[in-house]
Chains A and B, each alone.
Chain A
Amino acid sequence: MLTIRGLYAGINGREILKGFQLEVKAGEVHAIMGPNGSGKSTLAKVLAGDEHYEVKKGDVLFQGKNILGLEPEDRALMGLFLAFQYPVEIPGVNNASFLRMAYNAKRVHEGKPEVDPLEFDEILKERLKVVEMNPDFKNRAVNQGFSGGEKKRNEIVQMAVLEPKLAILDETDSGLDIDALRIVAEGVNRLRRPDNAIILITHYQRILNYITPDFVHVLFDGRIVRSGGKELALELEKKGYEAVAAYEDASRDK
């Protein structure tokens, strides 16, 4: 599904990712954990094609194709989805028409006819259930006046509508209270399928109580310093990133 090799990337001349590697297969959930500034969000933005970030070296193969030269929309149409850490507000554009626009862009890309607002309304009704979103949200402007939790839920609604092959959730859990966290996590679980994959970027172990990862990776200073199963997250929570990273450095020096 996704192979990242020797990725060096940064922003404003500052190198943040320093030789990042990762292999994600269909059906897998990977959690990437790391302290502030370790490169978690840079990774998300680089994969999605944010032009503010520069890629110096490395390959990102998505479904066998190097996507680093592709526009963000082309990557999206291939099935790459980013749930944003800070979803932006778009005044005057209502959610339903925004979602339909995105849905239709995907349909057209797949050579299928566009759906009209009535047909889409039916589709949306189903998908909204995934995160227990109140249907009146459809008529509100995209993210405008949304609470932090609603914004994050809206990201998962979009994921439900677009059914991506690979979803990257960038700190979708941060800023959520326990109830919202549970709703979002359950939403993600419902969207888990053998033919798609999820990269879960997070600070905290707590979302992993709800979403069970197949792999946990520790990101430190721009590269993965340790990988393991879900128990690694617990160890991190107990010992802290510094200790785990130091352990790794020590073992590598041997």
Chain B
Amino acid sequence: MQAVILAAGEGRRLEPLTDVRPKPMLPIANRPLLEHVVEAVADAGIEELVLVVGYKRERIQDYFGDGHDWGVDIEYAVQSKQLGGAHALLQAEPLVDGEFVVLNGDRIIESRMVSQLVEAVGGDDDVLMTVTPVDEPSNYGVVELDGQRVVGLTEKPPARAVTSNIINAGVYAFGAEIFEAIRATETTGELAIPAVLQPLVADRRVRAVPFHGMWLDVSYLWDLLSVNAAVLDQQGSAVARSARVHDRATVTGTVAIGADTRIRPGATVLQGTALGENVNVGANAVVANAVVLPDATIEPGCVVRDCIVGENARIGPNTTVEGGRADVVIDETFYADVRLGGVFGDNAALGGAVTAEPGTVVGTGATVESGSVLAGHVGAGAEVRRG
């Protein structure tokens, strides 16, 4: 059995972090989302993986290579234009043979979900679809079931039209016929897998495989913090051997600390924090519920809470990101009362004593003058001067 993992997408809603890396490479507990998926697949006993890559694919290829470190063989198929999941899957056609599993590279799942699906393969069904209950079904593809038969599939219905809390988990088992079905589906742009499945659902040829367990989706920046904390909680703390935590620094709660990261005297790192490789946390800084990417520097005296710090970003001394809840606008959509202290894009450089109000999003490579007060959006490469 082979697995095809779709990892070509860009993840625009996660800007600025996805300016330089594809969404599947966003870190959860210091490991890319995609690595959690690859591991789940490998743990389910599947050894041949096809990764469909596209946007910023070098990052993925550089990280996973040929899969040896995960005990699997990885081959790559390239989707050069991001034209949806079904189109991405089509790129894998020359590399698959017989029945195979399809997953998204940016959703954290349990390996049990994959093994359960693999066991269910067989019988006369064309397609197996894993379904799972969620709290807010209207963000996903809502599934109507008749026994094990999928009889309805509605993408992101308005809340009032939701008929069940069971959704399509985006994990499928297909045979080679799916490629014909994709080619037969008319499209004027992006083509998603659910659109291809509609006629099959209508013919009652899709069987549901129900799953109850961990299924975590990172749609928005604040999800990165909550999913990170949830996964840390589940997996427990992990501190790299080459990390250096000073005797007079405090590290409590479940945290992940990457290789060669240094935590200076008096610094405090609290619950829900993942510090990537080669991060510096300066003396007396406080970092809580934060995702800090590799090579970032948090200078002495900072308070960084509910915050995402991009790769190689610098948070100047005594900067305060107080954390908490805020209203945030992403891609012209308004999201009320989300927990997001701030996001600092890769290579952003803050001077000293900057204050960032909750919900601040600073773009890639922006520079901020000492003493500035930040709120709302700061564009990529912008220079913020103290007003």
A binds B: no
* Residues of chain B at the chain A interface (Cβ within 8 Å): none
